[in-house]
Amino acid sequence: MRVGIGRLQVLAAALLFSTGGAGIKAAAFTGLQVSALRSGIAAVVLLMLLRALSPGRGLKVLTVSPAMLATSVVYAATLTLFVLSTKLTTAANAIFLQDTAPLYLLLLGPLILHERFRARDVTFLLGLGAGLVLCVFGQPEPTTTAPDPVRGNILALVCGVTWALTLLGLRYVQRDQRQTSVGLSAVTLGSFFASIAAWPFAWPLPTASAVEWATVVYLGVCQVGLAYVCLTAAMRVLPALEVSLLLLIEPVLNPIWTWIFHGEQPGTYTIVGGTIIIAATAIKSVFDARALRSTGDPSLQPQVP
């Protein structure tokens, strides 16, 4: 029963995460205005989650360390870059290029976490590289919803790097401390940092309709905050492999929502490239899980946000 509920919670988190592209493009705000509001609202929701997990501790629920602060900074960069890239390029390109993070994880893991590189990882790198090339060079012409795809793709590529650094940071701070609050503290502070960094460039806020304001509030409360509430609850009962595979629904649905609500066409090359990235990630997660069961090597544990 608990496992079934956990799966539904992960699916709910993936569904909420996937609405980010359509929501960001729907708002009549600049990218930095969306980032300031979305991240600030999400930080409040996540702080409430932390307090619920540790009642009676007030702000002491935040587990602070130099490594956690560094993780918060790169996570803040990820939040900001994702919004800006989604504003400039197609939602498909923004999410698929961010999802090349495992490519950088494989390259940086041995240097930062001293986790060994395996021969079969070369095949995975080639798959991600092929998907990346298709997404970058198969970009359609600029449109109303994707006015500057070249700059947006560059920001999305950088977002993939910062997301990889975020995952490395979360793994580092939680490797010796298994408390859920460590990772959530980093995500919460990162949301605060992203909001604070964007506010000087976001003011004054524009005159917007009630629907547009509701969309921004939804992004902070549901698309980030509530999604992490669901994901955190599910992680207590589900193995990381199952969570990581279920979360692959997000990059599949993200461009679909944007197409439904905005008519945005990602382009054939982007669809093919994104499919390769998702398939390569899923296959690697399965192989790593099998190797983990046979060797017990924790470095093979599939990565989840």
Helix (H, G, I), strand (E, B) or coil at 194: helix
Contact present, 205 and 40 (Cβ < 8 Å): no
Whether residue 275 has pLDDT greater than 50: yes
Whether residue 253 has pLDDT greater than 50: yes
Cα–Cα dist 256/262, whole Å: 10
What would the pLDDT profile of 105-136 be if each residue is shown by its tens digit?
777 767 666 666 666 677 777 787 788 788 77
Whether residue 300 has pLDDT greater than 50: no
- pTM, rounded to two decimals: 0.85
What would the pLDDT profile of 198-234 be if each residue is shown by its tens digit?
999 998 888 888 899 999 999 999 999 899 888 877 8
What would the pLDDT profile of 4-31 be if each residue is shown by its tens digit?
788 888 899 999 999 999 999 987 899 9
Going from N- to C-terminal start, the domains of the chain cover 2-300
Cα–Cα dist 83/16, whole Å: 15
pLDDT band, residue 277 (cuts 50/70/90): confident
Contact present, 121 and 65 (Cβ < 8 Å): no
The mean predicted confidence, pLDDT, of the chain is 82
Distance, first Cα to last Cα, the chain: 24
Work out the percent of the chain whose per-residue pLDDT is above 90: 30
Beta strands in the chain (DSSP E): none
pLDDT of residue 61: 60
